[in-house]
Amino acid sequence: MKVSVVGTGYVGLVSGVCLAEKGHEVICVDNDAEKVEKINAGKSPIYEEGLDDLLTNNIGQRLTATTDLRSAVLDSDVSLLAVGTPFNGSEIDLTYVRQVAKDIGSALRDKPGYHVVIVKSTVVPGTTDTEVLPLLEEFSGKKAGVDFGVGMNPEFLREGAAIDDFMNPDRIVLGGMDERTHAVMADLYAPFAGVDVLKTNNKTAEMIKYTSNSLLATLISFSNEIGNLCSALGDIDALEVMKGVHLDKRLSPILEDGTRVTPAITTYLEAGCGFGGSCFPKDVKALISHGEAASQPMPLLNAVIDINREQPGQVLDRLSKHFPEHEGLNVAVLGLAFKPGTDDMRESPAIPIVNKLVENGAKIRAYDPIAQEEARKVFNGADITYCESVPETLADADAVLLLTRWDEFSTLPEELGKLEKEPVLIDGRRMIPRYAVSTYEGIGL
Ligand SMILES: NC(=O)c1ccc[n+]([C@@H]2O[C@H](COP(=O)([O-])OP(=O)(O)OC[C@H]3O[C@@H](n4cnc5c(N)ncnc54)[C@H](O)[C@@H]3O)[C@@H](O)[C@H]2O)c1
């Protein structure tokens, strides 16, 4: 099948590369010429484990990249729309989605034969049918359901595990306006045999994505609220509390042979310094505003966001407990990305923490194995010394803030033990065993 994918960010590029690997002929489209050039040179503009290898396997063969959306649409049977859908402060920003819908529509005007347009971006319920479809009709001069089909196929990949998630999905949700659209979407995903496929309408498909993300964000804020209460009450470690909760057989089932399964969902039931990334914060906020616009108050999800906004402050409070003055304080920051396995800095809890410390006059040395380059852009000239390793970051530190759960930080107790004067460790991720270092502070402790 010939597929065009518009937008080559985390979702578009991973989808394009993986669909090519599965045997489709894919044209990736982006209006950022630099990204397109990199992709055609076999270099991924983003970091994802395994992405470079798959890109080199397919580029120039079943995969090409271009800035020319029109020719990509004319030369394909299906177009996936995978551009960003940020939150603009009051609601979802559909600028990019609308622009691409208009551009695909214009191209369809000159395309003979049936075409299917699939929205892969996360969009609030109703967007595909009431925004994308009418724009496609208006700009193509053609009729949806007759000349082209419109579908919605939310993406569930997790940054840091994106290739594996796309190649081995847990579910495929196919929203579609009619049977013909569903049939083309089923062909697109035919190479993913054995995966649960949920066929539904576009609006339900859109809602499934928001509900999934909102549930996960709610579990995190719930755990953080409990963690903060454990800290306030004293003599309770939220880590132990959550261990006890995880042992509920409805969360961690006991198999017939007596062994226990510990599902990944339990990792969302752990206290930390808050969720970030390009999805949870913006998607929960967009759903709240969409609900409120429909006169449906969303008090639970509002609380999820409020708790998360305050959570990075827990790290700073623990620092202030040991060092009330931050001016001139040597602080080592380990981890800047919003989670391990990615260079994505969007809404990372490290951002408000580092910004506050810079404002307070602390001397910051920072290290992230992958996100350093992105971090430089985000902190844009702020007085931060970027280091290349954990030991280099720890030099002269009064305090160490662990903000991302990168595997290589697990050697921290040994590294700290080598120092003449051991700094305070503030573990924003509860990654290091509390008695492994001499002065330990952790969220939920
Ligand atoms: N990042 C994730 O983990 C993830 C997971 C699931 C769903 N999503 C959703 O997928 C969508 C895309 O997210 P992302 O993180 O890949 O975004 P991104 O910002 O990384 O990438 C978007 C890309 O679209 C390109 N673009 C913008 N306007 C364009 C246009 N008119 N023509 C061609 N290209 C254009 C941009 O240059 C950019 O490369 C969002 O709706 C997001 O919510 C993201």
pLDDT in 10s for each residue of the chain, 445 residues: 999 999 999 999 999 999 999 999 999 999 999 999 999 999 999 999 999 999 999 999 999 999 999 999 999 999 999 999 999 999 999 999 999 999 999 999 999 999 999 999 999 999 999 999 999 999 999 999 999 999 999 999 999 999 999 999 999 999 999 999 999 999 999 999 999 999 999 999 999 999 999 999 999 999 999 999 999 999 999 999 999 999 999 999 999 999 999 999 999 999 999 999 999 999 999 999 999 999 999 999 999 999 999 999 999 999 999 999 999 999 999 999 999 999 999 999 999 999 999 999 999 999 999 999 999 999 999 999 999 999 999 999 999 999 999 999 999 999 999 999 999 999 999 999 999 999 999 999 9
User: How confident is the model at residue 380, as a pLDDT?
Assistant: 94
Alpha helices in 294-369 (DSSP H): 299-310, 312-322, 350-359
User: How confident is the model at residue 244, as a pLDDT?
Assistant: 97
Token duo for residue 107: 């191209």
User: How confident is the model at residue 444, as a pLDDT?
Assistant: 95
The CATH number that domain 2-200 falls under is 3.40.50.720
Query: 63 CB under 6 A from ligand 1?
Result: no
Residue 230 and residue 244 in contact, taking contact as beta carbons nearer than 8 Å:
no
Residue owning the nearest CA to atom 20 of ligand 1? 9
Locate the ligand 1 atom nearest the alpha carbon of residue 11 and give its number: 16
Locate the ligand 1 atom nearest the alpha carbon of residue 99 and give its number: 31
CA geometry: angle 236, 239, 241, nearest 5 deg: 60
Strand ranges across the sheet with 440-442: 384-386, 363-367, 330-334, 399-402, 424-427, 440-442
Query: 35 CB under 6 A from ligand 1?
Result: yes
Ligand 1 centroid – CA 82 distance (Å): 5
Ligand 1 centroid – CA 154 distance (Å): 12
Residue 123 and residue 308 in contact, taking contact as beta carbons nearer than 8 Å:
no
Residue owning the nearest CA to atom 15 of ligand 1? 10
Q: What does DSSP assign to residue 255?
A: P
Q: Which ranges in the chain are annotated with CATH 3.40.50.720?
A: 2-200, 212-310, 312-442
Ligand 1 centroid – CA 159 distance (Å): 13
User: How confident is the model at residue 178, as a pLDDT?
Assistant: 98
Token duo for residue 193: 């045999």
Burial of 52 (0-12, 13-18, 19+ CB in 10 A): middle
What's domain 212-310's superfamily in CATH? NAD(P)-binding Rossmann-like Domain (3.40.50.720)
Note if 279 is an active site residue.
Answer: yes
Name the catalytic one among 18, 28, 230, 279.
Answer: 279
User: How confident is the model at residue 286, as a pLDDT?
Assistant: 98
Residues 6+ apart with CB under 8 A from 55: 17, 39, 42, 43, 44, 63
Query: 325 CB under 6 A from ligand 1?
Result: no
Say what angle helices 299-310 and 280-293 make with each other, to 10 degrees. Answer: 150
Q: Report the Cα–Cα distance between both ends of the chain, in Å, rounded.
A: 54
Query: 83 CB under 6 A from ligand 1?
Result: yes
Residue 181 and residue 150 in contact, taking contact as beta carbons nearer than 8 Å:
yes
Residues 6+ apart with CB under 8 A from 381: none
Query: 279 CB under 6 A from ligand 1?
Result: yes
Query: 12 CB under 6 A from ligand 1?
Result: yes
Residue owning the nearest CA to atom 27 of ligand 1? 83
Residue owning the nearest CA to atom 37 of ligand 1? 32
Query: 157 CB under 6 A from ligand 1?
Result: yes
The CATH number that domain 312-442 falls under is 3.40.50.720
Ligand 1 centroid – CA 101 distance (Å): 14
Q: Over the range 324-350, which residues count as b (16 or more CB within 10 Å of their CB) and which as e?
A: eebeebbbbbbbbbbbbbbbbbbbbbb
Locate the ligand 1 atom nearest the alpha carbon of residue 32 and give its number: 37
Query: 212 CB under 6 A from ligand 1?
Result: no
